[in-house]
Amino acid sequence: MNFDIKRTGRAVLHVTDLEKSKEFYESLGLIETESDDENVFYRAIEDHNHHCLWLRKMPEAAVEVISYRVDSEEDLDKLADFFEAEGTEVIWMEKGMQPAIGRTLRVQDVSGIPCEYYCEMDKVERMLQRFDVHVGAKVQRIDHFNCAVPDVQKAYDYYIDKLGFVCSEYTTTKGSDEVWAAWLHRKPGVHDTAFMNSIGPRLHHIGFWLKDPMSLIDGCDYLAAKGLAPTIERGPGRHGLSNAFFLYLRDPDGHRIELYNGDYYTGDSDFDPVEWDLDDPQRQTFWGHEAPDSWFEEASTFLNVYTGEKVETEQPKLDKRKPNTII
């Protein structure tokens, strides 16, 4: 690849009640960088840039875009050339068109997911040693996106062959090479994005990294003390896939957030992806407890980057008797 995608960058979510959303996200330990009556920008403790999460007050909840950071402005130009050569329309947003961020390009990816790429973002004070403002789960950084798509193999092939992502773990069925789910990365962790076989495209969750498992427990205690225990949907637990210690939460509009710790280094050139069998129950939860139905059935709506309308979803391509096979 002649462009360098570095990592998961930010997400832009539409929410219907900014004050309720602020109470939720600040209880996780995200730090407000800037806000007004229509917007709030959050960064995590490790961030030296303006934000990793932008909440926009809108009449309906939705996901405007998920973003990846690239290494240089030249990489943006190379990405634009690539997408246009592929026949994908590119939407340029010049510096100044969005708060705190340089020029970005937006596309609807091969699965219909609204994706953004950027290089520059305003710098701010890093809060890593501002222990006086660390609360809740003490969220350290944004880590990954998890997307439900109707054709995982299509997304898998495109992101690996065209965009240079690398697979860390994947799920197949016995006797088949077709991929049911895949964890793909650019940074040397387990994933920057994951694709799961389900009704889609939809955003299943945004994952945020914590410094240790105790921070996850602290987050649960803090949420409960604030009267927000009902936001806890699943966990704590440990995934077989990724080895991560996890907790899943729902914000006031139903957007799902994962608090996440405990995956591993994947940066060696001879790293071999880990294969899981779809029928292995430990791939989802290593300890064996089941997820609630909502975790399989519900996800956030994407918006089309060209029209602003909701992206239409499709049933999964693989066995429709098992549509809900997300980890």
The verdict on 148 and 216 lying in the same domain is yes
pLDDT at 319: 63
Indicate if 184 and 263 belong to the same structural domain: yes
Whole-model pTM: value is: 0.95
User: How confident is the model over 159-176, as a mean pLDDT?
Assistant: 91
Query: Angle 67-68-69 (CA atoms, 0-180°, nearest 5)?
Result: 125
Write out the residue range of the structural domain in which residue 45 sits: 5-118
Q: How far out from the chain centre does Cα 9 lie?
A: 9
Residue 10: pLDDT band (50, 70, 90) is very high
Reduced to 3 states (helix: H, G, I; strand: E, B; else coil), residue 107 is strand
Does residue 186 belong to any structural domain of this protein? yes
pLDDT (0 to 100) of residue 176: 76
Q: Is 169 exposed, middle or buried (0-12, 13-18, 19+ CB in 10 A)?
A: buried
Over residues 269-295, the mean pLDDT reads: 83
Task: Flag whether 127 is in a domain.
Answer: no
The last residue of a domain, from among 56, 88, 118: 118
User: Rounded to the nearest 10 degrees, how much is the dihedral formed by the CA atoms of 235, 238, 243, 249?
Assistant: 0
* Confidence class for position 212, pLDDT limits 50, 70, 90: very high
> SS3 for 310?
strand
* Structural domains in the chain (count): 2
pLDDT of residue 50: 98
| Mean pLDDT rounded to a whole number for the chain | 94
Judgement on whether residues 242 and 272 belong to the same structural domain of the protein: yes
> Does the residue 319 lie in any domain?
no
DSSP 135-156: -TT---EEEEEEEEES-HHHHH
Average pLDDT over residues 221-237: 96
